[in-house]
């Protein structure tokens, strides 16, 4: 029997969730919910599911086993908590929420209700990311020395004007860092390990009528002693591929979007030849660098597949609520450091 999944929120990202669910064996999109009934109806007609404008009614539908939360970032907690209380498993679009308190409320309710919780970070499932993580775990970098993340994207003023929630602290939770760069922040700390302390600066330089930053820089000290940099922006024309660089005293690897661009270690392995050959066949496009809709859904598909497997096999999802909380803590710490002008130590 297929796991029945409902999507809450029928904005742009819900299209990616729907496509991904449709490609996962053992999963079926059975319902959607949006507070604007007409929007829910249109989405349901397009993807072939039952529409609701009431969360309460949707959660009462026995066909719904799990809920995918695709509302604005600062409105994740309410539907996630309601779903957990109704005994439904929960998977939440990034970030898990915009404050640690709201993240904790989701985590605690899911644990209390005995349901699975996952946070969307599809970049972790890309083959290139997995290869980098394996190299770290195998010690191929030697002593890690530097870990850097760059998200130099571009968003037009029209992008921010297109939704009243965009660029607000209440619902976006922040700007280039919390919305666009949080995927890369998650990937960096997954690869490099926990962050110990942060210094930062943020600014709003190129956009009007937004409360949040469109440029941010931060310097990090990881718990393992390595240093790092995060740069994030939605004000870099025309927008460039996101990039992660890992360096150690025995190796370097650079990931650009989904492609490995540098793979250089003192101790070679037999698998390196195939990796180097694949590097010659670069396939990354602009991704979301200039157009937020120009992303693939294959990462979401892989994560939905893991989520369904976790439910069926009663195990923790690969990216659970605590993993989702970690990147939010780093972004919140960057904002705190930028506002105070002081070094911020983690955990907060």
Q: Mean pLDDT, to the nearest integer, of 112-136?
A: 97
Distance (Å, rounded) from C-alpha 228 to C-alpha 256? 17
Q: Is domain 124-290+327-345 classified as CATH 2.70.210.12?
A: no
Distance (Å, rounded) from C-alpha 15 to C-alpha 20? 9
Q: Give, as one character, the DSSP assignment of residue 342.
A: S
Does the structure show a pLDDT above 80 at 290?
no
CB proximity list for 78: less than 8 A, separation 6 or greater: none
pLDDT of residue 284: 63
Two tokens, residue 276: 């180097």
**Which of 299, 269, 328 minimizes the C-alpha distance to 130?**
299
**Which of 104, 55, 64 minimizes the C-alpha distance to 82?**
55
pLDDT of residue 292: 72
pLDDT of residue 206: 98
CATH 3.30.360.10 domain span(s) along the chain: 124-290+327-345
Distance (Å, rounded) from C-alpha 25 to C-alpha 16? 16
Q: What is the mean pLDDT of the chain?
A: 96
Two tokens, residue 43: 């989405």
pLDDT in tens, 150-159: 999 999 999 9
Distance (Å, rounded) from C-alpha 248 to C-alpha 277? 23
**What is the full DSSP assignment across 256-318?**
ETTEEEEEEESS--HHHHHHHHHHTT-----TTSS-TT---SHHHHHHHHHHHHHHHTT---S
Percent of the chain past pLDDT 90, that is, above it, reads 93
pLDDT in tens, 20-55: 999 999 999 999 999 999 999 999 999 999 999 999
CATH 3.40.50.720 domain span(s) along the chain: 3-122+299-318
Two tokens, residue 106: 């989701």
Output the CA torsion 305→288→123→114 (10° steps).
Answer: -50
Q: Mean pLDDT, to the nearest integer, of 165-177?
A: 96
Residue 344 pairs with which residues in a beta bridge? 198
pLDDT in tens, 194-251: 999 999 999 999 999 999 999 999 999 999 999 999 999 999 999 999 999 999 999 9
Distance (Å, rounded) from C-alpha 250 to C-alpha 80? 44
pLDDT of residue 282: 66
CA-based R_g, the chain, Å? 20
Distance (Å, rounded) from C-alpha 323 to C-alpha 326? 5
pLDDT band at 75 (very low <50, low <70, confident <90, very high): very high
| Span 3-122+299-318 CATH architecture | 3-Layer(aba) Sandwich (3.40)
Distance (Å, rounded) from C-alpha 140 to C-alpha 130? 14
Q: Mean pLDDT, to the nearest integer, of 255-260?
A: 95
Distance (Å, rounded) from C-alpha 218 to C-alpha 148? 10
Residues in the chain: 348
């Amino acid at each position: 029997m297929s796991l029945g999944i409902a999507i809450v929120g029928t904005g742009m990202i819900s299209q990616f969730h729907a496509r991904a669910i449709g490609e996962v064996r053992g999963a079926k999109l059975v319902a959607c919910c949006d507070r604007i009934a007409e929007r829910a109806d249109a989405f349901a007609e397009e993807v072939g599911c039952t529409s609701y404008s009431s969360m309460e009614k949707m959660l009462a539908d026995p066909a719904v086993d799990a809920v995918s939360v695709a509302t604005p970032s600062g409105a994740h907690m309410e539907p996630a908590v309601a779903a957990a209380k109704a005994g439904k498993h929960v998977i939440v679009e990034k970030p898990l929420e915009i404050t640690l308190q709201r993240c904790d409320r989701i985590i605690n309710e899911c644990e209390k209700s005995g349901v699975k919780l996952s946070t969307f970070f599809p970049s972790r499932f890309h083959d290139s990311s997995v290869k980098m993580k394996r190299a770290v775990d195998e010690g191929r970098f030697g002593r890690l020395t530097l870990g850097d993340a760059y998200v130099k994207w571009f968003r037009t003023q029209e992008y921010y004007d297109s939704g009243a929630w965009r660029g607000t602290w209440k619902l976006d939770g922040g700007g280039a860092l919390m919305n666009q760069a949080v995927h890369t922040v998650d990937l960096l700390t997954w690869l490099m390990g926990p962050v110990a302390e942060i210094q930062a600066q943020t600014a709003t330089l190129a956009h009007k009528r937004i409360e949040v930053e469109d440029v941010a820089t931060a310097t990090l000290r990881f718990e393992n002693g390595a240093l790092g940099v995060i740069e994030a922006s939605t004000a870099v024309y025309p927008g460039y591929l996101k990039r992660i660089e890992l360096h150690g005293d025995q190796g370097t690897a650079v990931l650009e979007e989904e492609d490995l661009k540098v793979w250089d270690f003192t101790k070679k392995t037999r698998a390196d030849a195939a990796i180097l050959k694949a590097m010659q066949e670069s396939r990354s496009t602009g991704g979301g660098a200039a157009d937020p809709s120009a992303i693939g859904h294959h990462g979401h598909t892989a994560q939905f597949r893991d989520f369904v497997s976790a439910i069926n096999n009663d195990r923790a999802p690969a990216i659970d609520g605590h993993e989702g909380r970690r990147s939010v803590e780093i972004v919140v710490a960057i904002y705190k450091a930028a506002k105070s002008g002081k070094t911020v130590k983690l955990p907060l």
